[in-house]
Amino acid sequence: MENDRTEKLRLIKDEVLALKSSPLYEERVASDVFPVIGEGDHYTSIMFIGEAPGKNEARTGRPFCGAAGKVLDKLLASAGIERKSVYITNIVKDRPPGNRDPLPEEIECYAPFLDRQIEIIQPEVIATLGRFSMDYIMRKFFLDQEIETISRMHGKEYDAKAPYGSVKILPLYHPAVAIYDRSKFGELEEDFKKLSKYIKEGK
């Protein structure tokens, strides 16, 4: 069915909205904000996975719509990739207070939803944004022995097997690093260019 993936992703959204067992649920309700599930092409070959929503993201329910999102948009454009042609999500679907790093129990709570998103979308390449998503995805695909610091791993492609077939893992710096260190933008641009070959023609 053409909309089968859309329906399955909508179910994930409904489940996250009702996830009272989440350690971040009360914070979401008290702050009157939204979980951020993900957005983009449900049939894409490229899936981006960040860490957790920030203030702007929680306010709108959209991933990467703040300052880091503007950097991400520039990086996608530099690689000739339309934002609407990829899928963008995070491991943690609710905003940690004060934009702090996600805690292990928060990653554990939300990771099953991410696992289902990957199975539904079936990307050819998973581009991780930041060290938390890099660490989770590398371990998920049994690449623990390859894990080093992100400064050593960024821009390298790793072969992995998913239930639906082969997948490439491409660790990337989080776009926010270019806000604090502008010299990193060039490195990010070079890394993003490696995604160009995964763009599907006619999409």
With helix as H, strand as E and coil as C, how does 110-125 read? HHHHHHHHHHHHCCCE
The pLDDT value given to residue 98: 87
- The stretches in the chain having pLDDT less than 50 are 1, 202-203
Residue 139 lies in domain: 4-197
Q: How many domains does the chain have?
A: 1
Residue 202 lies in a domain: no
CATH of the domain at 98: 3.40.470.10
Other Cβ atoms closer than 10 A to 73: 14
The pLDDT value given to residue 112: 97
Residue found under tokens 């939300």: 110
Residue 68 lies in a domain: yes
pTM for the whole structure: 0.95
The pLDDT value given to residue 203: 42
Helices (H) and strands (E) in the chain, counts: 9, 6
Q: Give the SS3 label for residue 172.
A: strand
The pLDDT value given to residue 201: 56
Task: Supply 154's token pair.
Answer: 């960024």
